[in-house]
Amino acid sequence: SWTLRNTEINNKFILCFAALRIFLLVILFYSIFAISPDSCQVWFKLNSTTSLLKPATDHHRRHGFCTLEPLSPEDAEEERLLLESTAWPETPLLPSPLSLEETSDPAHSTFTILPGKEGRQWQIGDQLEVTINMCDFKGRPKKTGGDVLLARLHNLSLVAGVAGKVVDHLNGTYTAVFSLLWEGSAQVQVTLAHPSEAVTVLQRLNVEEPDRVYFKSIFRSGNLSQTTACNVCLRPTQQPQCNYTDVRTGEPWFCYKPQNLSCKARINHSVKRYDWNLVIVKSGPAGYYYEGVWHALGGSTVNQFNTVTITQCLKGKVVYMFGDSTVRQFFEYLNTELPNLKEFDLHNDRKAGPFISLDYTNNILVKYRFHGPPSRTAPVPISELRYMANELDGITGGSNTVVIFGIWAHFSNFPMEIYIRRVQNIRRAVVHMLDRAPDTLVIIRTGNPKELTLTVALTNSDWHSYQTNKVLRAMFNGLNVHFVNAWEMTLAHHLPHDLHPKPPIIKNMINVIMSYMCPQKGG
Ligand SMILES: *[C@@H]1O[C@H](CO)[C@@H](O)[C@H](O)[C@H]1NC(C)=O
Ligand SMILES: *[C@@H]1O[C@H](CO)[C@@H](O)[C@H](O)[C@H]1NC(C)=O
Ligand SMILES: *[C@@H]1O[C@H](CO)[C@@H](O)[C@H](O)[C@H]1NC(C)=O
Ligand SMILES: *[C@@H]1O[C@H](CO)[C@@H](O)[C@H](O)[C@H]1NC(C)=O
Ligand SMILES: *[C@@H]1O[C@H](CO)[C@@H](O)[C@H](O)[C@H]1NC(C)=O
Ligand SMILES: *[C@@H]1O[C@H](CO)[C@@H](O)[C@H](O)[C@H]1NC(C)=O
Ligand SMILES: CC(=O)N[C@H]1CO[C@H](CO)[C@@H](O)[C@@H]1O
């Protein structure tokens, strides 16, 4: 039976100072820019602060300076539904003149564990409910919702943990619901990832300043060389633009045209610098940790794999990995753990890839490739800048083919439409691949919560990742694909949230992947 007693529960509200500061710093950092020597940047950022305090016009609220190409009627309808399902509750406007006194403050906020049914002891299978009351810096109860709250029930000595589901009552009150899944005592943790006022700022930044993460390309021809700014969409200026919209997928990409070179002279893509620096419609958790081991709920079993059983499982297989650096972690894990798997050195950048590894004895091939722009990477040659959907079109597929992908972390500064359209293209390619080779195994890694420094909060917020996960889930619903629920696997673990989850979490993710590939193997 479940022996969680109220006396053993620490009502602990994690004072997530880093996250709390986001809002403050969004403002502060603009002031910092005022004294930066980079006058061009100062000009723009400073001006945008003032504009953020003004109410957005209807046109700007929705479109900013990006022109989105029309979609087919079906895709447009899907986009509308997805936007509706990820619509965040209305968040408070920023007060003008600016004051932080009325913003959500974890230090003044509290939560209460509600008594169990009929006052009896908690039992395994019960739902534990927690009421969260948010207050502002003056200690006054908040009247509106929209705070990004993460909830976890855990026990450090048992290395056990499960993510909670947070329900927003839109009046400053929230309920966190946890499934009780292991025997023993536990603690509740509630973390304020982003106050609702920060969501207001992030929402507007994604429409008005999607280019706050900026990219560049080098153009070269003969002895002429020039570098210009690139992005999914560019602010209209006097400067002509080069249109690199992908002919096959229609994925938009533009660079300002270099003055004395042609658009064809583009040779490199890289992130310039950003030095200023749910998941599911389904209810209930996807799984939980017990003694450090992830147990999946809802039918699938996660087996434990070691070097020998992973090699047995991969024997004769080709594994394609696509996506951002969080998928690269899987490639790195296999390379480190499997003694016979040897990387063939393609002399590529250690972060950008692409990479390839071979185990000749066991006939295993593992490949990794980034998901294409807007990849925030070190310079990559244009010849290696490929869209995932086009790469998938080039895979024959079959029972020995495994495709693992994850695409989320590099889209957080854009309106959600940009992400939806990318996933629509990827899904079309996945559907074609499963049509021609239904035996192909497709595994999708979701996004995860991360440490929220200022840069991360502004360019890769948990608020946005949470919604990309929701979109991803909804869009692949009903298709023969599997998920690694990285959101919950990171949230439920006691290790700190990290863009790149630490090895104990990756090991559990690998076990989830291997269990999809070889359900009968493992220890
Ligand atoms: C907020 O809404 C919930 C659900 O409707 C309700 O139970 C609760 O009493 C409300 N709280 C306040 C402070 O109004
Ligand atoms: C974890 O659970 C065990 C067994 O109920 C208990 O003895 C221990 O105090 C708990 N540890 C923490 C950190 O909650
Ligand atoms: C660049 O090359 C052209 C001919 O290819 C030559 O005339 C010119 O002097 C070169 N310019 C420089 C700066 O080297
Ligand atoms: C860019 O090119 C694509 C097709 O190649 C076209 O559909 C689109 O309208 C162009 N965009 C702009 C802004 O010129
Ligand atoms: C382009 O060429 C013109 C005329 O030769 C020159 O004045 C200008 O500086 C060049 N621009 C760049 C960016 O090299
Ligand atoms: C651009 O790419 C080329 C190879 O295409 C490479 O040699 C060069 O070092 C890259 N430039 C930068 C600045 O990284
Ligand atoms: C400080 C600063 O550069 N302000 C500029 C903001 O933008 C307006 C035009 O929209 C300029 O006139 C200001 O000089």
pLDDT at residue 24, as a whole number:
38
pLDDT at residue 38, as a whole number:
26
Query: Quick one: pLDDT band at residue 495, thresholds 50, 70, 90?
Result: very high
- CB distance 357 to 341 below 8 Å: yes
Residue 249: both structure tokens together: 């997928």
Which atom from ligand 2 is nearest to the alpha carbon of 160? 1
DSSP per position, 199-243: HHHHHHHHHH-GGGSEEEEEEEETTEEEEEEEESS----SS-EEE
Which residue puts its alpha carbon closest to atom 6 of ligand 2? 185
% of the chain with per-residue pLDDT over 70: 84
How many whole angstroms from 98 Cα to the centroid of ligand 4? 41
Query: Quick one: pLDDT band at residue 454, thresholds 50, 70, 90?
Result: low
What's the half-sphere exposure (Cβ side, CA atoms, 13 Å) at 7? 1
CATH class label, 287-517: alpha beta
- SS3 assignment, position 462: helix
Query: Of 392, 401, 386, whose CA–CA distance to 438 is shortest?
Result: 401
Which atom from ligand 4 is nearest to the alpha carbon of 67? 13
pLDDT at residue 198, as a whole number:
85
How many other CB atoms are there within 10 angstroms of residue 410's CB atom?
23
Query: Is the C-beta atom of 267 inside 6 A of ligand 6?
Result: yes
Query: Is the C-beta atom of 265 inside 6 A of ligand 6?
Result: no
Query: How far is the C-alpha of 294 from the C-alpha of 161, rounded, in Å?
Result: 9
Query: What letter represents residue 382's amino acid?
Result: I
pLDDT at residue 278, as a whole number:
26
pLDDT at residue 115, as a whole number:
86
Most confident of 101-105, 125-129, 278-282, 486-490: 486-490
% of the chain with per-residue pLDDT over 90: 63
Instruction: Give me the residue spans of the domains in the chain.
Output: 214-273, 287-517
Tell me which of 218, 228, 270, 273 to substitute to probe ligand 6's pocket, judged by most ligand atoms within 8 Å of the beta carbon: 218
Give per-residue pLDDT as tens, 356-406: 999 999 999 999 999 999 988 888 899 999 999 999 999 999 999 999 999
Query: Is the C-beta atom of 245 inside 6 A of ligand 4?
Result: yes
Query: How far is the C-alpha of 520 from the C-alpha of 71, rounded, in Å?
Result: 43
Give per-residue pLDDT as tens, 42-68: 222 323 443 444 545 554 555 678 888
pLDDT at residue 383, as a whole number:
92
Burial of 108 (0-12, 13-18, 19+ CB in 10 A): middle
Query: Quick one: pLDDT band at residue 98, thresholds 50, 70, 90?
Result: low
Q: What is the pTM of this model?
A: 0.82
pLDDT at residue 521, as a whole number:
66
CA distances from 434 to 225, 233, 411, 437 (A): 44, 32, 26, 5
pLDDT at residue 41, as a whole number:
25
pLDDT at residue 273, as a whole number:
56
Q: Is the pLDDT of residue 328 over 90?
A: yes
Average pLDDT over residues 231-238: 92
How many whole angstroms from 494 Cα to the centroid of ligand 2? 14
CA distances from 407 to 253, 373, 375, 447 (A): 17, 11, 10, 8
CA distances from 18 to 15, 108, 467 (A): 9, 16, 21
Q: Is the pLDDT of residue 40 over 80?
A: no
For the chain, give the mean pLDDT: 84
